[in-house]
Amino acid sequence: MGKHEKGTPKEIANRCKSKGLQKLRWFCQMCQKQCRDQNGFKCHLTSEAHQRQLLLFAENPDDYLKEYSKQFETNFLKTLRCTFGTKRVRANEVYQEYIRDKMHVHMNSTTWHTLTNFVQYLGSSGKCRIDLTEKGWFIALINQEEEMRKEELVRRAKSDRDDDERQQEFLQRQAERAKELQNSSVVGTSQPSELLRKESNDKITINLSMKKLAVQDAAHPTSSGVASASNVFEKPMVKKEACDSRSHSNSYKRRQKDVSQRKRKADYEDYPTSQRKADDNKHRKSALDEIREMEEKKKERHNRKDYWLHTGIIVKVLTKKLGVEYYKAKGIVESLVDEYTATVNIDGDILKLDQRDVETVIPAIGRKMLIVNGAYRNTRAVLEKIDEPNFSVILRLIEGFARDRVVCVPYEDASKLAD
């Protein structure tokens, strides 16, 4: 029976019936044909075209199932990403949105027999976050690019931390070597000792004789006639007189210099011993101190940031926008929304605050604190002393390579740790 001509009532009726979604069970995936009723679907199964498609499927069924499963998964995730984004939504709602396409790949032609199996597959493969509730399965798409960026940041931070640890180990070895060299140089210096004379009966003789200069007669000239003896001796006499005058002035200067040095030495000896040692230590810096100073400057440049919030610290609220009851109240930072914003727990109330609206808290002496900025960022320490004139605190580090080191940090670079 041929098709009805276009525009006839029968053709228009058939076209209206074929619009929209039909029964999913009357759809043939191999032939891409949708039947309107069970009778039509039965007739299609016995057709010659369908039998040829079945022979092709029977030759390599695994490849067909993999291809249909891949298409179904790709289109389903595309619908989820374009329609719902990364929001948490019911899996059935996403499926209903997906099957609105009349020519979509049907689930009964894939390796998953039910929507539950497919949702569990998405969760196990790490493509979606899934959870089961009384209303059914819920899914949320995982942004792979964002996850990759986070992993890259974590990997880079770990690499920088490893580089810092290796650098600190190298500096520690250099410091120990410099300290050993300094100790060996102190041990190897010569010390004053008593003069030991050997007992001997030999006589000690000193020769003080001086040779006389042979002076020729100035009246007799030399046989060569070039220069007389008097002319020869006159010039050295002039030089000797000039040398005598210069030596006299130099000796006077040396005497003056010796007098000034003896005076400075006497004034220095009048100082107390402790004062002299303090002045010497002030102007002399060991190799270990220089290495430690270089290390702290490098860490200060690397770890100094414009954000300082950390989880687990106690902060004080400075803003009045939240109400008088929260003004100057103290709370614990539970989590970070971003680098500049945190959620703070104040007596059971959870508030979202910016770091400009809070400040650090200084505890009692002996309590634990966390260094939140600067060279020793994210390092725990114990409060030893409060330096009020300089608005800073003296801390003793209790972890890391610089353990037991005493450092001085400003008020805003350290805060009290929650118990």
CATH number assigned to the domain comprising residue 380? 2.30.30.30
111 and 76 belong to one structural domain: yes
| Residue-level pLDDT at 312 | 92
343 and 388 belong to one structural domain: no
Q: Do residues 138 and 91 touch, judged by C-beta distance below 8 A? A: yes
Beta bridge partners of 371: 379, 414
| Residue-level pLDDT at 320 | 86
Domain count within the chain = 3
Residue 102 lies in a domain: yes
72 and 133 belong to one structural domain: yes
| Residue-level pLDDT at 372 | 92
Residue 393 lies in a domain: yes
| Residue-level pLDDT at 219 | 45
- Which of 109, 144, 179 terminates a domain? The answer is 144
Residue 390 lies in a domain: yes
Whole-number Å distance between alpha carbons of 89 and 79: 12
- Which of 144, 179, 195 terminates a domain? The answer is 144
| Residue-level pLDDT at 360 | 93
Residue 274 lies in a domain: no
Residue 310 lies in a domain: yes
65 and 140 belong to one structural domain: yes
374 and 337 belong to one structural domain: no
81 and 94 belong to one structural domain: yes
339 closest CA partner among 362, 363, 321, 355: 355
| Residue-level pLDDT at 223 | 42
67 and 120 belong to one structural domain: yes
| Domain limits for position 72 | 60-144
Residues of the chain with confidence (pLDDT) below 70 = 1-4, 14-25, 185-288
